């Protein structure tokens, strides 16, 4: 079935949802975006995603030409128009149409695009068995170059690491920062569990401040775990009892091997499983 896409200030048919070749989103990856889930017809953590979108936009000096409330309404209208019960929303703000040069101030109106569709998830089997991953040699963007908190349309840094993962026939790769500490995975945040304590790199390590990460930290504390935000090395990952990733698409997924080192007993551990279950219940509105 053809989708209805939000473009600018209205819904249009999928075949009419077109962006100019002069849009700086295409020419330079100049723009910001969010990926958001819909669970049981509820848009999950929409406020948090909208906050991050406006922060990202501020970071690149892009004025979103729509109020927060109007944008929230547009997201809901797009979800309803496509009758999405469980799915995924891609909310994109490009710099807009401008001249061929870099100058973003030649672009008059940022384009607003909202796509609501079904999502291609990791197969359930992967959650049961856990994921094997590798360390990428591609270093995560230096925060003084492109702050990783900005969720920009330019994902080449992550894509280069993703290619490394795919070359090794695994779905994900850990990205390290310029100092060698874990930053994040190509599209997810990283957690470890060792001796009953939960660890995750601090925001300063250079990862995106994930919304799923925040929720999992909250769940972990509620479950009585100590959560420590601390720099982690490659070796710290290898010797962890459990490693798991968090993200809007992946939710909570256990890691069972990194660079040929088996993590724990080679299966997703009890803490990972518990957090996945708790996250599921929270996302589906079954638990606060």
Site residues (CB under 6 A) for ligand PMP? 35, 158, 184, 187-189, 207-208, 210-213, 246-248
**Catalytic residue from among 4, 132, 151, 162:** 151
Q: Does the annotation count 195 as an active-site position?
A: no
Q: Which of 235, 237, 269, 230 is nearest to 253 (CA)?
A: 269
Q: How far is the CB of 196 from ligand PMP (least distance, A)?
A: 24
CB neighbour burial string for 67-104, b if at least 16 within 10 angstroms, e if fewer: eeeebbebbebbbeebebeebbbebbbbbbbbeeeeeb
Q: How far is the CB of 90 from ligand PMP (least distance, A)?
A: 11
Q: Which of 253, 143, 151, 236 is nearest to 192 (CA)?
A: 236
Q: How far is the CB of 254 from ligand PMP (least distance, A)?
A: 16
> Residues 180, 156: contact at Cβ < 8 Å?
no
Q: Is the CB of 32 or the CB of 111 nearer to ligand PMP?
A: 32
Q: Is the CB of 35 or the CB of 202 nearer to ligand PMP?
A: 35
Catalytic residues: 151
């Amino acid at each position: 079935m053809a989708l209805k896409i939000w473009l600018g200030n209205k819904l249009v048919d999928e075949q009419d949802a077109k962006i100019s070749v002069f849009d700086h989103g295409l020419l330079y990856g100049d723009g910001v975006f969010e990926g958001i889930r819909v669970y049981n017809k509820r848009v999950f953590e929409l406020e948090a995603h909208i906050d991050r979108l406006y922060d990202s936009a501020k970071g690149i000096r892009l004025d979103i030409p729509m109020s927060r409330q109007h944008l929230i309404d547009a997201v809901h209208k797009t979800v309803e128009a496509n009758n999405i019960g469980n799915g995924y929303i891609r909310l994109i703000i490009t710099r807009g149409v401008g001249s061929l040069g870099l100058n973003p101030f030649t672009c008059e109106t940022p384009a607003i695009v909202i796509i609501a569709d079904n999502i291609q998830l990791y197969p359930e089997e992967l959650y049961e068995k856990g994921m094997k991953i590798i360390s990428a040699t591609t270093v995560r963007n230096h925060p003084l170059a492109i702050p990783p908190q900005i969720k920009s349309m330019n994902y080449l840094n992550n894509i280069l690491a993703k290619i490394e993962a795919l070359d090794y026939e695994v779905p994900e790769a850990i990205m390290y920062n310029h100092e060698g500490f874990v930053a994040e995975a190509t599209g997810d945040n990283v957690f470890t569990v060792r001796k009953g304590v939960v660890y995750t790199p601090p925001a300063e390590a250079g990862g995106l401040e994930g919304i799923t990460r925040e929720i999992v930290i909250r769940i972990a504390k509620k479950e009585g775990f100590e959560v420590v935000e601390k720099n982690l090395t490659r070796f710290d990952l290898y010797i962890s009892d459990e490693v798991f990733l968090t993200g809007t698409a992946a939710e909570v997924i256990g890691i069972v091997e990194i660079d040929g080192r088996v993590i724990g007993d080679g299966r997703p551990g009890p803490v990972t499983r518990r957090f996945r279950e708790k996250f599921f219940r929270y996302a589906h509105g079954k638990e606060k």
